[in-house]
Amino acid sequence: MTQDIATRIEGHAGIISLNRPSALHALTLDMVHAMTDVLVKWQTSKKVKCIIIDHAEGRGFCAGGDIAFLRNSALNDEGKSGRQFFHDEYQLNHLLFTYPKPVVAFMDGITMGGGVGISQPARFRVATENTRFAMPETGIGLFPDVGGGWYLSRLEGRVGQFLALTGARIAGPGCLALGLASHYIPSEALADAKARIAVEDVERIDGILGTLAVTPPPSKIVETLFQINRHFASDRFEEILASLDADESDWAMREAATLRSKSPQTCKVALRQLAESLKLDDFAENMAMEYRIASRVLTRPDFAEGVRAVIVDKDNAPKWDPARPEDVTDALLDTIFAALPADEEWKPL
User: Positive or negative CA dihedral for 132, 138, 143, 148?
Assistant: positive
Residue 1's pLDDT is 62
Torsion angle defined by CA atoms of residues 108, 111, 114 and 117, in that order, rounded to the nearest 10 degrees: 80
pLDDT band of 98, cuts 50, 70, 90? very high
Residue 236's pLDDT is 98
**Cβ-proximal residues to 165 (8 Å cutoff; 6+ apart), any chain:** 138, 232, 237, 240, 259, 262, 267, 270, 271
The pTM assigned to this predicted structure is 0.97
Residue 221 lies in a domain: yes
Range of the domain at 313: 5-344
User: Which residues are known catalytic residues?
Assistant: 65, 114, 137, 145
Q: What is the pLDDT of residues 41-82, one digit of tens each?
A: 999 999 999 999 999 987 889 999 999 899 999 999 999 999
Q: What is the pLDDT of residues 280-294, one digit of tens each?
A: 999 999 999 999 999
Tell me: pLDDT of 92 over 80: yes
CATH number at residue 334: 3.90.226.10
Ramachandran region, residue 146 (left: φ > 0; alpha: ψ -120 to 50; beta: rest): left
Residue 339 lies in a domain: yes
Phi, psi dihedral angles at 7 (to 5 degrees)? -125, 145
Residue 330's pLDDT is 97
- What does DSSP assign to residue 317? -
Nearest residue to 61 via CA among 155, 199, 187: 187
CA dist 43 and 49 (Å) reads 9
Tell me: pLDDT of 2 over 90: no
Residue 349 lies in a domain: no
Residue 239 lies in a domain: yes
Residue 76 lies in a domain: yes
Q: What is the pLDDT of residues 139-180, one digit of tens each?
A: 999 999 999 999 999 999 999 999 999 999 999 999 999 999
Residue 144 lies in a domain: yes
Provide the number of structural domains found in the chain: 1
Angle at 153 between CA 151 and CA 156, to 5 degrees: 95
